[in-house]
Amino acid sequence: MNLNPIYAKMGTTIFEHMSALCRDGSRINLGQGFPDDSGPPVLIEAAARALRERSNQYPPSAGVPELRDTVADWYGATQGLALTRDNVIVTSGATEAITAAILAVIAPGDEVLLFAPAYDAYAPLVRRAGGVPVFVALQPPQWHYERPEIEAKITPRTRAIILNDPLNPTGTVASDAELAMLANLCVTHDLFAICDEVWEAVRFDGQPHRSLLSYPCMAERAVKIGSAGKIFGVTGWKIGWLCAAPDVARVLARAHQFITFTTPPALQYAVAEGLAMPELIAERRDSWAATRAVLNRALSEQGFAVLPNAATWFSCIDLPASGINLSDADFAERAVVDARVASIPVSALCEDNPVTTVLRLCHCKPEAMLVEAVKRLARFRDSLA
């Protein structure tokens, strides 16, 4: 069979692996990140109304004007970005947005800096574009961005960085000083920044999100990626977007048009309505803040060492500090069988020099489920002693 060896040799993602083990209902899935509810009823009704009353034919490839306008307005109101619809391209999810950005920016032979741990789609997509991923390892517990370590990886072939902030899987947020440093590096070394900011509205520190796109001299050398799936907890809708300077956005749109071309219009209209309801966005964030508190409290009470974070649907635990001598991969594989709880080992999101001591758990689940999962994990840990 003449199949592409890149994909023929590629394994199933850790997220699909863990979720597949949970689909028969016999295990608690704290691995793959998605809420257990169906999403906000007001948003679902908006989508149903659009299905009945609006067109169900191809919308414009760049997205329906209502959503492009609302994305621009929402970023103006929440992050102070001066955008119009000409800055916004709607995509079929944030992963498609990342794909379009990589294909539009990276040429064969270009090097791309990735900060590890990293979302596992980045490196394969860079390679598919002919680029070379170069990893910069971040270290627990703070996962800081250090200029000397980053500059040591920059060569004349370095074309871009991919920055995920807030960071999945750690839930940490880059400081203003770190973002300013990264912007300065991009300007100094003529790098483009692909900014995966899908967790921008899922922050629990009370601080407004700031995009690398907003820093001096970054408007023409950065693209900002957002996700309705993360903002509203409707991950199956796959509505994302790219924001960039109009000239850059036009190039991104040319890559997007040959990936999915366009995105279901009814869902776009519904997301446009949702972004115009700040109370809905706050309600979703507050509900996840509550489940986060439940999980973190239960973990602490059972003697697990919870690492500090400020965002995302995830909490991470330090295994050695929690009395566990197994690697994160070994613990996760045994726990999903013996404790019947799925998790994500952070080492699965590191290709080079992986951190093997940190486990990621998803908290946007019913409170009783979280408490039961922690009890199971604690019993399993104690059985290892």
- The Cα–Cα gap between 57 and 267 comes to 13
Give the CA angle between residues 61, 63, 67 to the nearest 5°: 175
Average pLDDT, rounded, for the chain: 95
pLDDT of residue 35: 95
DSSP H helix total and E strand total for the chain? 14, 13
- The Cα–Cα gap between 327 and 385 comes to 15
* Domains of the chain (ranges, CATH numbers): 5-39+280-384 (3.90.1150.10), 41-277 (3.40.640.10)
Contacts of 110 (CB under 8 A, 6+ apart): 130, 131, 132, 157, 158, 159, 160
**Is 383:335 a contact under the CB 8 Å cutoff?**
no
pLDDT of residue 348: 93
Residues listed for the chain: 385
Name the burial class of residue 220, with classes exposed (0-12), middle (13-18) and buried (19+) by CB atoms within 10 angstroms of its CB: exposed
Stretch 275-280: mean pLDDT: 98
Quick check: 380 pLDDT over 90? yes
Q: Which tokens belong to 249?
A: 């956005």
DSSP 3-state assignment of 293?
helix
- The Cα–Cα gap between 127 and 379 comes to 42
Q: Which segments within the chain are labelled E, that is strand? A: 28-29, 88-91, 111-116, 132-137, 158-164, 192-196, 222-227, 240-243, 305-306, 314-318, 341-342, 344-345, 358-362
List residues bridging with 318 in a β-sheet.
305, 358
> Residue 206: how many CB atoms within 10 A of its CB?
6
Quick check: 260 pLDDT over 80? yes
pLDDT of residue 22: 65
For the stretch 127-184, pLDDT in tens is 999 999 999 999 999 999 999 999 999 999 999 999 999 999 999 999 999 999 999 9
Quick check: 1 pLDDT over 80? no
Stretch 314-343: mean pLDDT: 96
> Residue 253 CA to chain centroid, in angstroms?
21
pLDDT of residue 24: 77
pLDDT of residue 4: 76
Quick check: 21 pLDDT over 80? no
pLDDT of residue 8: 67
For the stretch 329-365, pLDDT in tens is 999 999 999 999 999 999 999 998 899 999 999 999 9
Q: What percent of the chain has a predicted confidence (pLDDT) above 90?
A: 91
Q: Which tokens belong to 381?
A: 């840990």
126, 144, 163, 186, 269 from 273: Cα distances, Å: 34, 37, 29, 35, 6
DSSP 3-state assignment of 29?
strand
Does 32 or 140 have the greater pLDDT score? 140
pLDDT of residue 377: 98
pTM beyond cutoff 0.85? yes
Quick check: 100 pLDDT over 80? yes
Q: How confident is the model at residue 282 (pLDDT cuts 50, 70, 90)?
A: very high
Torsion region of 238: left, alpha or beta (phi above 0 gives left; psi -120 to 50 gives alpha): left
Q: Which residue has the tokens 């048009």?
A: 257
For the stretch 176-216, pLDDT in tens is 999 999 999 999 999 999 999 999 999 999 999 999 999 99
- The Cα–Cα gap between 208 and 326 comes to 38
